[in-house]
Amino acid sequence: MFGVPGDFTLLLNHMLDQHPGFFVGTSDEQGAGFAADAYARLRGIGVVMATWGVGGLKLVNSTAQAWAESVPVVVICGSPGLGEREGDPLLHHKVKDFDTQMRVMQDVTEYAAYVHDPATAPGIIAEAFAIAARECRPVYLEIPRDVVGLPCGPLPEVPPPADADPDPQVLEACLDDIQRELAAAERPAIISGVLVARLGLQAQLDALARTAGYPVAETLLGKSSVGSDDPWFKGVYAGAISSDPEVRQLIDDSDRVLVLGAYISDLNTGLFTTGIDRADSIISHQKITYVGVRGYDGVGVAHVVPGLVERLGATVPDRQPAPRARPPFTPSPGMPLSARALFETLRSRLGHGHTIIAEAGDSLFGSADLRPEESGFLATAYYASLGYAVPAALGAGLARPDRRPVVIVGDGAFQMTGLELGGMARVGVHPVVVVINNDGYATERPMMNGAFNDIPRMRYAMFPDALGSGMGVKVDTEDAFVAALDDALADASQLRLIEAVTPPDDISPQLRNLTTELGKRV
């Protein structure tokens, strides 16, 4: 559980102290929300707790991101006691009325409830966690502080909803339809989306691709939903901003594309420049599947993938393939560091043993070519909230202590949540953080330049000194960056921060393609 204590949560915090290490404090509530989000992406559920009003309303952004990107986060807020509310007094942190925060949270969660009655509390709590896990969405629980500690009965079993499983005949008809379409195709291909990871379908998709022999590409939001070392994996497909033109050509030339759990959003599709024809595609979402224009309600990707695996008699592998060789990068001594050289260096050195966390913007688009292991890449590639990557390293490091977090973040986003690095050493998380210092918001400059894209200049390499933990270094040439990254990756005992200085107008080709189109809209 991640969070920041407040007077409405203190009794909860006191009770949680009976379980040392369970509550992990952060510098700010939004950072706690992002840490819980990253933890949930890797472990299935994350929990964040804050005080009512000033804390809970700070969590609206991170909770909205969890809803938008299908992340099961449980948000818990301690609130004024029931007895304190009599007469509608002006208590601190209050906005409008005592139900304001509940109404706000109802709009960004799948389920929201008060927990105030010992008779119903166990059922409400169990239902909230079940909904979060089943729907891959955030939920919200608000607990008045004067009911904390009241004795309750045991947690009940929560049966799945009546419509959790599709009609067997509809499922069989859908699978029949899919198989007919794929059998008639000469150049079928698969696009793996984020729900493959959220619903734990990676191994079954691996079995399907191996048996059928179909090439597989990923969306940006679904990056690392499958293992990049698998021989059938081709890369990231995002229409006009695809990093590899061969991947774009492969998917665009396919006569049947099986789209599994992918969001058809603007960033995922390169501003809707994909060459996928809906009439010739099979698109499986969480709760409905389309075969061309024929829809099968209630049949989701969690039914389609296992169904095809069973029909093909595919064998689910029990181990990951051996890592592929990384493409080498040889720096030019003294050559000023460019975005191209920075990302080529990262691609040549990152992979197994790392959880790569890319901030929205060029940190994400430039990372499209990186080859992480399965579930080894985190990014907010749809909601695109800045400030995610640094606190996400805390959640990722605790969720997967066997993999070291490596953060790729721009200077603007780092200024929003960089202080979250301060508490990581206390819980044994020692990330490598690459701060791309291009003197402002480089994603926005190509769309519309102006002084509004400038940010305060900071000495990022000195942050570890200010935090009293870790080491920092500033580099501005190719060879210096390579040396700094190699040195940082070899030292897992502490935070290592690299301030990588690149020209303000130097961005990756993928981002330049995107901002050219976005600039027209601006």
How would DSSP label each residue in 69-102? TT--EEEEEEE--TGGGTT----TT-BSBTTHHH
The per-residue pLDDT for 183 is 93
According to the per-residue pLDDT averaged within each range, which of 29-43, 152-166, 250-264 is highest?
29-43
pLDDT tops 80 at residue 26? yes
pLDDT tops 90 at residue 265? no
pLDDT tops 90 at residue 143? yes
The per-residue pLDDT for 449 is 85
The per-residue pLDDT for 517 is 65
- pTM of the entire predicted model: 0.94
pLDDT band, very low/low/confident/very high, at 60 (cuts 50, 70, 90): very high
| pLDDT digits 0-9 by tens, 400-414 | 999 999 999 999 999
The per-residue pLDDT for 320 is 67
The stretch 97-126 carries a mean pLDDT of 95
The per-residue pLDDT for 319 is 65
Sequence letter at residue 269: T
Q: In percent, how much of the chain has pLDDT > 90?
A: 70
The per-residue pLDDT for 515 is 72
Determine the 3-state secondary structure of 405 from DSSP: strand
| pLDDT digits 0-9 by tens, 121-139 | 999 999 999 999 999 999 9
pLDDT tops 80 at residue 323? no
pLDDT band, very low/low/confident/very high, at 380 (cuts 50, 70, 90): very high
pLDDT band, very low/low/confident/very high, at 159 (cuts 50, 70, 90): confident
- Which residues make Cβ contacts (< 8 Å) with residue 18, sequence separation at least 6? none
172 vs 496: CA distance, rounded Å: 53
Contact between residue 505 and residue 432 where contact means Cβ atoms under 8 Å apart:
no
For Cα atoms 261, 381, 277, give the angle at the middle one, nearest 5 degrees.
Answer: 45
| pLDDT digits 0-9 by tens, 500-521 | 999 988 887 777 777 776 677 7
Q: Which of 53-67, 177-191, 243-257, 279-293 is predicted with the least confidence, judged by mean pLDDT? A: 243-257
pLDDT tops 90 at residue 157? no
Between the CA of residue 241 and those of 37, 120, 270, what are the distances in Å? Answer: 26, 51, 5
Q: In percent, how much of the chain has pLDDT > 70?
A: 99
pLDDT tops 90 at residue 83? no
| pLDDT digits 0-9 by tens, 439-484 | 888 888 877 888 888 889 999 999 999 999 999 999 999 999 999 9
pLDDT tops 80 at residue 76? yes
Give 452's Cβ-side CA count (13 Å radius): 6
The per-residue pLDDT for 267 is 78
Work out the mean pLDDT of the chain and round it to a whole number: 92
3-class secondary structure for 408-433? EEEHHHHHHHHHHHHHCHHHCCCCEE
Determine the 3-state secondary structure of 358 from DSSP: strand
pLDDT tops 90 at residue 84? no
pLDDT tops 70 at residue 73? yes
Nearest Cα to 255, choosing from 186, 314, 203?
A: 186
pLDDT tops 80 at residue 243? no
The per-residue pLDDT for 444 is 80
Give helix 29-43 / helix 389-399 axis angle, nearest 10°: 40
| pLDDT digits 0-9 by tens, 192-233 | 999 999 999 998 998 999 899 999 999 989 998 887 787 888
Please, what are the domains in the chain? 2-147 (3.40.50.970), 168-312 (3.40.50.1220), 339-521 (3.40.50.970)
325/370: higher pLDDT: 370
* The CA-based dihedral angle spanning residues 296, 298, 302, 304, taken in that order and rounded to the nearest 10 degrees: -20
351/45: higher pLDDT: 45
